[in-house]
Structure 1
Amino acid sequence: MPLTRHTLMEAAAARFGWRRAYGDTSEVDHLLAEQAETAYRQADDHAALATAKNTNALTVQPCVLDVRGRVLADVLYLEGVLAGARNRDLAPKLIEHLEDAVAHGHELTVLLADTVRTTAAHASSGN
């Protein structure tokens, strides 16, 4: 399907809160590659901007707090997806991967919280 048509269909579906499911692994692989390409393209300017803006530990803190909040919200949403998969007795491998993703997400929120604490500790120590 041409990218333009795909994008229009996705945009229309999103307006109604619908998400498309892909039954073909090649479509999934294409979508994953597209997501990665978009994310890396958007990240190109982040390093330069962060270098200019993050002059000390406290200037890093709000950014890390924002990321932690988004990750935590997404992990809790994913926990709901996991609960639904369990309740519907979906494929054990799917449940296993969801469990791993949820556990990893929670570990990431802990690491991000530790990072935020470190920014405050460095600020109070004068570094």
Structure 2
Amino acid sequence: MPTRRSLMDATAARFGWRRAYSDTTQVDALLTEQSEAAYTAAADHAALATAKNDTALAVQPGVLDARGRILADVLYLEGVLAGARNRGLPGEVIEHLEDVVDHGHEMAVLLADAVRSTATAHADSGN
């Protein structure tokens, strides 16, 4: 059973504030709740995407949108990483943030390649 957010958490989220959790049990519960929500929302995605994405160009807008969101999040996390370094946070925290930032940049590059491939495929098809 997923953990229910408290009234304080819900109110804070409404104002764009986020709570920090000092207990790994709470963190794990929150991560599980996030995963369950994401997978529930995506349950019908494959069928809908198959019906909608019938050409290379039809795929392009969604991939381009995802790249934009990921790139914005990665740049935000670069700032978090810089702050962690400047404040001398534990090495493990910094290492994990570095991994996330590096991976995020790699994802942005791969998504850009995917977007380019949709235009190339469309041009190659003679349309």
Q: TM-score range by the shorter chain?
A: over 0.9
| Cα contact 2:57–2:122 (8 A) shared by 1 | yes
Measured against aligned partners, the alpha-carbon deviations of 1:17-76 in whole angstroms (never above 9, x if no partner) come to 321000001111111111000000000111111011001000000000000000000000
Between structures 1 and 2, the one with greater helix share: 1
- The aligned counterpart of 1:32 is 31
Query: For 2:51 and 2:8, how far apart are their aligned partners in 1?
Result: 39
| SS class of match (2:89) | coil
- The aligned counterpart of 1:51 is 50
| SS class of match (1:21) | coil
| SS class of match (1:44) | coil
Query: For 1:16 and 1:58, how far apart are their aligned partners in 2?
Result: 38
| Cα contact 2:71–2:105 (8 A) shared by 1 | yes
Q: Residue 120 of structure 1: CA displacement?
A: 0.5
- The aligned counterpart of 1:93 is 92
Return 5+ residue gaps in structure 1 as ranges. none
- The aligned counterpart of 2:9 is 10
AA of the residue aligned to 2:98 = E
- The aligned counterpart of 2:122 is 123
- The aligned counterpart of 2:110 is 111
| SS class of match (2:118) | helix
Q: CA RMSD in A?
A: 1.5
Return 5+ residue gaps in structure 2 as ranges. none
Identity within the alignment, %: 68
Query: For 1:70 and 1:29, how far apart are their aligned partners in 2?
Result: 24
| SS class of match (1:17) | coil
Query: For 1:77 and 1:31, how far apart are their aligned partners in 2?
Result: 21
| Cα contact 2:81–2:94 (8 A) shared by 1 | yes
Q: Residue 89 of structure 1: CA displacement?
A: 0.5
TM-score, length of structure 1 as denominator length? 0.93
